[in-house]
């Protein structure tokens, strides 16, 4: 038996929850982007050249995953996954969340 999805929220007295924050969107200004790259270099040792940084910025990554993939490609680590990808992604998401909180 299938559950019905069209429940009347007000009638049942349920509160409407705010939408979840999309922590996968990559929305930074160019200054924040540069600061993020500096932070990744210092904190995680993931340092790319100024030319690679410019190319990554101009590629306009829309998601954190696209940014991390581009960063790893610039580092010469295409196809790298697992812990490295996860660590970078978590660091970038925390950075973006911190910028949004201010």
Residue bearing tokens 């050249």: 49
pLDDT digits (tens, 9 = 90+) for 27-53: 889 999 999 999 999 998 889 999 999
SS3 content of the chain, % helix, strand, coil (to 5): 55, 0, 45
**For helices 30-44 and 82-101, what crossing angle results, to 10°?**
130
Q: What is the pLDDT of residue 68?
A: 93
Residue 68 CB-density burial (10 A; 0-12 exposed, 13-18 middle, 19+ buried): buried
Number of domains forming the structure of the chain: 1
**Would residue 42 count as lying in a domain?**
yes
Separation of alpha carbons 23 and 68, rounded Å: 14
84 domain-assigned: yes
Q: Which two tokens stand for residue 74?
A: 């610039």
User: Which residue's structure tokens are 């697992």?
Assistant: 82
Q: Considering the entire predicted model, what is its pTM? A: 0.73
Which pLDDT score, from 0 to 100, does residue 15 have? 46
CA distance 98 to 92: 10
Q: Which domain holds residue 63?
A: 30-101
Q: Is the pLDDT of residue 86 over 80?
A: yes
Residue 8 lies in a domain: no
- The larger pLDDT score, comparing residue 7 to residue 81, is at 81
């Amino acid at each position: 038996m299938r559950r019905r999805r069209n429940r009347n929220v007000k009638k049942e007295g349920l509160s409407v929850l705010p939408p979840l924050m999309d922590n996968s969107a990559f929305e930074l200004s160019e200054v924040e982007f540069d600061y993020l790259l500096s932070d990744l270099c210092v904190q995680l040792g993931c340092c790319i050249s100024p030319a690679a940084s410019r190319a990554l910025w101009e590629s306009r990554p829309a998601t954190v995953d696209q940014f991390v993939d581009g960063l790893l490609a610039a580092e010469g680590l295409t196809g790298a996954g697992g812990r490295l990808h996860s660590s970078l992604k978590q660091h970038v998401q925390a950075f973006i969340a911190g910028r949004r909180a201010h």
